[in-house]
Structure formats: structure tokens, C-alpha cells
């Protein structure tokens, strides 16, 4: 907002057709550049999700009876397994490392 008061005095037409689109393009370039520079670490399947749904066991039509999850972070997989021992013991949940 500061540039409006202290910057160069531009005609309204130039502000609408030049400055506005330039700011939009610059914003898109910054966002796309930011996400293109973020890389996966190690064997992660994606940058944001350390878990991959590997398989589901189900009865017809849509009763899910089990899940198989694959973790890219072994420490997280161990903590998840420790927290869900009852589901793993009843074979409703299977945890593996990528």
C-alpha cells in the first residue's frame, strides 16, 4: 500500500493493465518456484505424506476389514505400530517400511 502514496504516480489505465497483471505473474512465479525447489528426502513417496496406502482388505460391497500401510520413515512407523498394537494383533492393520 505504501508504494501508492510514495511511488511514481501512474495513470489508472497503466495500473490496471500493466501493474496488476505483473503482480499476478510475479506471485505465480514465486509460488511455483518455491514448490519446485522442495525435494523429497530419502525414500519418501511424497514431500508431505510419509505414509502410503498399500492395500485394503474388504468384504463386498464396501466393508473395509483391514489396511496395509507403508511408511517411508521407519521411526514414525515404529511409533505408529506401538500406538496401534491392538489393531495389528487382530490383523486389521499391517505396517511396513518402504
Asked if residue 45 is part of any domain, the answer here is no
Asked if residue 46 is part of any domain, the answer here is no
Asked if residue 10 is part of any domain, the answer here is yes
Whether 59 and 32 share a structural domain: no
Asked if residue 43 is part of any domain, the answer here is no
Whether 31 and 56 share a structural domain: no
Whether 91 and 56 share a structural domain: yes
Query: What value does the mean pLDDT take over residues 66-94?
Result: 89
Query: What value does the mean pLDDT take over residues 28-48?
Result: 78
Whether 58 and 91 share a structural domain: yes
Position 82 scores a pLDDT of 93
Whether 57 and 90 share a structural domain: yes
pTM score above 0.85: no
Position 53 scores a pLDDT of 82
Domain interval for residue 12:
2-37
Whether 18 and 55 share a structural domain: no
Structural domains counted in the chain: 2
Asked if residue 55 is part of any domain, the answer here is yes
93 — phi, psi (to 5°)?
A: -140, 135
Asked if residue 74 is part of any domain, the answer here is yes
What Cα–Cα distance (Å) separates residue 19 from each residue in 10, 26, 27, 74? 9, 10, 12, 49
Using pLDDT thresholds of 50, 70 and 90, give the confidence band for residue 4.
Answer: low
Q: Tell me the H-state helices in 7-97.
A: 12-14, 20-37, 74-83, 85-89
Amino acid at each position: 500500500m505504501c508504494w501508492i502514496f510514495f511511488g511514481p504516480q501512474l495513470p489508472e489505465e497503466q495500473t490496471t493493465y500493466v501493474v496488476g497483471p505483473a503482480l499476478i505473474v510475479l506471485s505465480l512465479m514465486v509460488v511455483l518456484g518455491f514448490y519446485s525447489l522442495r525435494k523429497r528426502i530419502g525414500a519418501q513417496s511424497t514431500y508431505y505424506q510419509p505414509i502410503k496406502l498399500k492395500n485394503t482388505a474388504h468384504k463386498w460391497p464396501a466393508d473395509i476389514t483391514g489396511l496395509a500401510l507403508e511408511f517411508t520413515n521407519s521411526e514414525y512407523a515404529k511409533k505408529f505400530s506401538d500406538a496401534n498394537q491392538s489393531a495389528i494383533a487382530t490383523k486389521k492393520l499391517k505396517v511396513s517400511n518402504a
